[in-house]
């Protein structure tokens, strides 16, 4: 088995959008959410998150998030 086969798949979703205000996580327009993608591990999700966050640094209301999908799919783990 190779290293990639030995590694457990831990899915992560990266998405973002423009917030109504800086104190809450409420999006201005749900139709304009940016679904960056689903990634097989935290490290690749973090790289995608950083790229999107840096690309939108001029808009203070734009935020990107990483969702640990593997925790939602199998909460006991």
Alpha-carbon separation of residue 45 from 39, 52, 54 (angstroms): 5, 11, 14
pLDDT in tens, the chain (77 residues): 345 556 788 999 999 999 999 999 999 999 999 999 999 999 999 999 999 999 999 999 999 999 999 998 887 76
| β-strand partners of 14 | 37, 66
Residue 12 included in any domain: yes
Q: What pLDDT sits at residue 1?
A: 39
**28 in a structural domain:** no
The per-residue pLDDT for 8 is 83
Full domain range(s) for residue 59: 3-19+37-73
The CATH number given to whatever domain includes residue 67 is 3.30.70.2400
In a domain, 67, yes or no: yes
CA 42 – CA 45 distance, rounded (Å): 5
- 75: tokens are 């909460």
In a domain, 14, yes or no: yes
Of 20, 3, 31, nearest in space to 62 by CA:
20
Q: Is 45 inside a domain boundary?
A: yes
């Amino acid at each position: 088995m190779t290293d990639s086969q030995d590694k457990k798949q831990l899915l992560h979703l990266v998405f973002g959008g423009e917030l109504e205000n800086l104190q809450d996580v409420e999006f201005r327009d749900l139709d304009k959410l940016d679904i960056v993608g689903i990634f097989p591990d935290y490290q690749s999700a973090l790289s995608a998150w950083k790229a999107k966050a840096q690309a939108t640094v001029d808009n203070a209301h734009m935020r990107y998030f990483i969702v640990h999908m593997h925790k939602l799919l199998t909460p006991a783990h």
